[in-house]
A and B are shown apart, each in its own frame.
Chain A
Amino acid sequence: MPFEALKGEDRARIHDGALRVLEEVGLQVTNRTMLERLRDLGFKTVDGGDRIRLPRATVEAALKKAPRSVRLGARGPGRAAVLDGTRVHTATDGCGSKAIDLESGQKRPSALADVAASARLADALDQFDIYWMMISAQDVPRSARVPVEYLTALRNTGKHVQMIDMAKREEAELLVRMARALMDAGVVEGPPVSALISVVSPLRLDPDGTEAALVFAEAGLPIVACSMPIASVTSPATAAGNLLLAHAESMAFITILQSFSPGAPVIYCSFASYADARTGTTNYGDPRSAWTAAAAAQLGRSLEVPTFSSGGLLAMMTRPDIMSGGGLLETSTVLSYEQMVIENENLRDCRLAASAAEVNPESLAVEIIRDVGPGGHYLTQKHTVRHMKEFAMSKFVDSGSDPAGETGGARARALKEARRLLESHKVAPLPAELDAALERIAGETAPSVPRR
């Protein structure tokens, strides 16, 4: 039984409120062509303006058309992520624009070499199931960036690659052709690439991103229909209102995708966050974040579509299909290789902790408490040895025992581990002919595609 952050009646009230917002307020569509196309599909505008109304029946019908399970293909054997409610997959963090250099330790703009290295490190780290495009390759011309980033990630990981910076129709078309080439070559079962596109809070459809999403939907490539409101700034200051708006926006996007391409693979995604009270920028450290992620996962699950939520133990216990993991610092803008190693360990503990609530005679341990009696200790009990070892001794997270001792502390050990993995971990290359074909497609908009 998954954890429930919201009582059933409260979940229903948020859902009903979200449907009311979509029906009464609607969604703003600034792209004129898109607005016309939506009108052609039968959507009515609010007072003849640029807002489309999404009646409850339309939203509910669209949600029924969305597939209950979605496969995210991967070229590594057994590495596909099947989103069917049975496993919480973890993705790396994504969409940063800076990196902490592995050698110098200095922060600098992220580059294509960081895409390659972070993808290879994510491949080596066992807790990451999906590679989110972690950072943007700012040394690659904008016109070629998305396909070149994808090809570079693909060369460096056997795990599923999910794009976050795909923003234009042309980019989506190139990725569709690359995906087809991969599937035709038989190196991957199911869509090898998916993309996250976000509604712009409050209640505005991204004009270019939505066109790109429609290209993917038509080609059967999965779209993460995302919403990322910031409470107090782009959504109400209260947690329930924040969740309600995010829920409405993700449902609205799914409705639009299903109206154009019925049955297209979509993933519900609500990343409701909170603002720093002084500056208005996102504060992922807000105390409500963990509960909000779990509540968002619960709202998504209740729609019976694959669900993506922010990370944390509570979210893990709510069992979304995907949970964002980590590896970026400074409000998800700066890639840190050592942080990826640390988060990998955190995720492993998180996964174990989520299953720790089992209550049975062995876990209740009444006999053991009797054996030890008052005043003794539990260290030498077989029960202790058995269960303490379920949690690996932490290598990369300090609990105060070795802050910066002879080993240089946990961060230094994590950095060393990141370097070791990057030196030793190999990823099977793509078949040469396929690699060349993909490079030709990616290179159509670039003078030359760097190998790494």
Chain B
Amino acid sequence: MDEKTMYEKIQVSVAEGDAERAGDLAREAIQSGLDPLQVLDNGYTRALRTVGARWEAGELYLPEMILAAEAMKVALGVLQPEILRRGGPTRTPICCVLGTVRGDIHDIGKSIVGAMLEAAGFEVVDLGTDVDTARFISAVREKKASFVGMSALLTTTMPEMKIVIDELKESGLRPAVRVVIGGAPVTREYADEIGADGFAKDGLEAMRLFQSLAAASPAKAAAPAREA
């Protein structure tokens, strides 16, 4: 298979959200002697960028976008070790710690944001739901995270966000991270009030916000975010 055909097939596998095929094609590309870094950039990243644009244009639906992101993730798992093995440029992705705050077990909003961020090339550490302050703090510390994303679906659990931000300050971690919050009852005003860096109303807005915050603070971002 020539390079062009390979890239076309990769495009299709990502567009169709076929994770298994996307992984197989990544292995096939390496075996056939293609440069894994080229395959990543010209194949998968480009494919995901196309999917993202079609999604934003309203041509693709949310599940298709998430499936494409998952296909991309599988391919990355194949290509990344090979790029490293060949001593290629190491791109440490920007790490985002995500979680739904203590007392709240609403999962999906935060998971959609996670999928969008992975599609955009961020590394996502999803702590799940009902996450207490200590778990947010230790994850930020261990992963050397650049972002904390918190979700709350209830007005009753929103105040937990402020507790986490206060604790980030208390433990000296606040200057190193950007804090973004979201969830149905959350507002921009509330984000300002509790000292968060941003607010997003849905997965698309969240992805753009993380990207613009990352671009605005190159010092904190270990590497540029891959465009989606």
Q: A181 to chain B: closest CB distance in Å?
A: 24
**Beta-carbon contacts under 8 Å, A376-410 to B:** none
Q: Mark A156-182, 1 if CB is under 8 A from B, else 0.
A: 000000000101100000000000000
Contact check, A275 vs B62: say whether CB atoms are below 8 A apart: yes
Q: Mark A96-110, 1 if CB is under 8 A from B, else 0.
A: 111000000000110
| Given known A-B contacts A108-B189, A167-B154, A280-B62, A200 and B202 have beta carbons under 8 A apart | no
Contact check, A278 vs B108: say whether CB atoms are below 8 A apart: no
User: Would you list 8 pairs from A and B whose C-beta atoms are within 8 A, ordered by A residue?
Assistant: A30-B130, A96-B185, A97-B185, A168-B156, A233-B108, A277-B62, A281-B202, A333-B185
Q: How far is the CA of A206 from the CA of B202 in the complex (A)?
A: 23
Q: Does chain A have a CB within 8 A of B106?
A: yes
CB contacts (< 8 Å) of B175 on chain A: these are none
**Beta-carbon contacts under 8 Å, B154-170 to A:** 154-157, 159
Contact check, A279 vs B130: say whether CB atoms are below 8 A apart: no
CB contacts (< 8 Å) of B204 on chain A: these are 278-279
CB contacts (< 8 Å) of A281 on chain B: these are 184, 201-202
Q: Does chain B have a CB within 8 A of A331?
A: yes
Q: Mark A43-62, 1 if CB is under 8 A from B, else 0.
A: 00000000000000000000
Partner of B105, one of A98, A200, A232, A277: A200
Q: Does chain A have a CB within 8 A of B172?
A: no
Partner of B203, one of A145, A208, A280, A331: A280
Q: Which positions in A face B, CB cutoff 8 Å?
A: 30, 95-98, 108-109, 136, 138, 142, 145, 165, 167-168, 200, 204, 206-208, 230, 232-234, 275-281, 331, 333
| Given known A-B contacts A200-B105, A331-B184, A142 and B159 have beta carbons under 8 A apart | yes
Contact check, A280 vs B202: say whether CB atoms are below 8 A apart: yes
Q: How far is the CA of A346 from the CA of B204 in the complex (A)?
A: 34
| Given known A-B contacts A165-B156, A167-B156, A208 and B103 have beta carbons under 8 A apart | yes
CB contacts (< 8 Å) of B130 on chain A: these are 30, 207
Partner of A278, one of B61, B154, B157, B190: B61
Interface residues in B, total, Cβ within 8 A: 28
| Given known A-B contacts A97-B185, A207-B105, A207-B130, A277 and B61 have beta carbons under 8 A apart | yes
Partner of A206, one of B58, B63, B105: B105
Contact check, A97 vs B155: say whether CB atoms are below 8 A apart: yes
Q: B117 to chain A: closest CB distance in Å?
A: 14
CB contacts (< 8 Å) of A276 on chain B: these are 62
| Given known A-B contacts A109-B190, A142-B159, A233-B108, A279 and B154 have beta carbons under 8 A apart | no
CB contacts (< 8 Å) of A30 on chain B: these are 105, 130
Compute the total of residue contacts between A and B using a CB distance below 8 Å: 72
Nearest A residue to B59, CB-CB: A278
CB contacts (< 8 Å) of A278 on chain B: these are 55-56, 58, 61-62, 204
CB contacts (< 8 Å) of B103 on chain A: these are 167, 207-208
Q: Does chain A have a CB within 8 A of B112?
A: yes
CB contacts (< 8 Å) of A232 on chain B: these are 62-63
Nearest A residue to B62, CB-CB: A280
Q: B80 to chain A: closest CB distance in Å?
A: 28
Q: Does chain A have a CB within 8 A of B133?
A: no
Contact check, A200 vs B106: say whether CB atoms are below 8 A apart: yes
Contact check, B187 vs A109: say whether CB atoms are below 8 A apart: yes
CB contacts (< 8 Å) of A97 on chain B: these are 155, 184-187
10 A-B pairs besides A136-B185, A138-B155 with CB distance below 8 A are: A95-B155, A97-B155, A97-B185, A142-B159, A145-B156, A167-B103, A200-B106, A204-B105, A234-B108, A278-B204
Q: How far is the CA of A204 from the CA of B58 in the complex (A)?
A: 32
Q: How far is the CA of A230 from the CA of B109 in the complex (A)?
A: 11
Contact check, A279 vs B105: say whether CB atoms are below 8 A apart: no
CB contacts (< 8 Å) of B109 on chain A: these are 280
Q: How far is the CA of A165 from the CA of B108 in the complex (A)?
A: 20
Q: How far is the CA of A277 from the CA of B58 in the complex (A)?
A: 8
Q: B115 to chain A: closest CB distance in Å?
A: 10
Contact check, B189 vs A279: say whether CB atoms are below 8 A apart: no
Q: How far is the CA of A138 from the CA of B105 in the complex (A)?
A: 21
**Beta-carbon contacts under 8 Å, B136-171 to A:** 154-157, 159
Nearest B residue to A234, CB-CB: B108
Q: How far is the CA of A277 from the CA of B202 in the complex (A)?
A: 12
CB contacts (< 8 Å) of B186 on chain A: these are 97
**Beta-carbon contacts under 8 Å, B26-75 to A:** 55-56, 58, 61-63
Nearest A residue to B55, CB-CB: A278
Most buried by A among B112, B155, B157: B155
Nearest B residue to A137, CB-CB: B155
Q: Mark B84-108, 1 if CB is under 8 A from A, else 0.
A: 0000000000000000000101101
CB contacts (< 8 Å) of B58 on chain A: these are 278
CB contacts (< 8 Å) of B202 on chain A: these are 279-281
CB contacts (< 8 Å) of A136 on chain B: these are 155, 185
Q: How far is the CA of A207 from the CA of B58 in the complex (A)?
A: 37
Partner of A109, one of B105, B159, B189: B189
Nearest A residue to B204, CB-CB: A279
Contact check, A279 vs B62: say whether CB atoms are below 8 A apart: yes
CB contacts (< 8 Å) of B203 on chain A: these are 279-280
Q: How far is the CA of A204 from the CA of B130 in the complex (A)?
A: 13
Q: How far is the CA of A279 from the CA of B115 in the complex (A)?
A: 12
CB contacts (< 8 Å) of A230 on chain B: these are 108
Nearest A residue to B56, CB-CB: A278
Contact check, B187 vs A98: say whether CB atoms are below 8 A apart: yes
7 smallest CB-CB distances across A and B, nearest first, come from A97-B185, A279-B202, A167-B156, A136-B155, A277-B61, A280-B62, A142-B159
CB contacts (< 8 Å) of B106 on chain A: these are 200
Partner of A333, one of B108, B112, B159, B184: B184
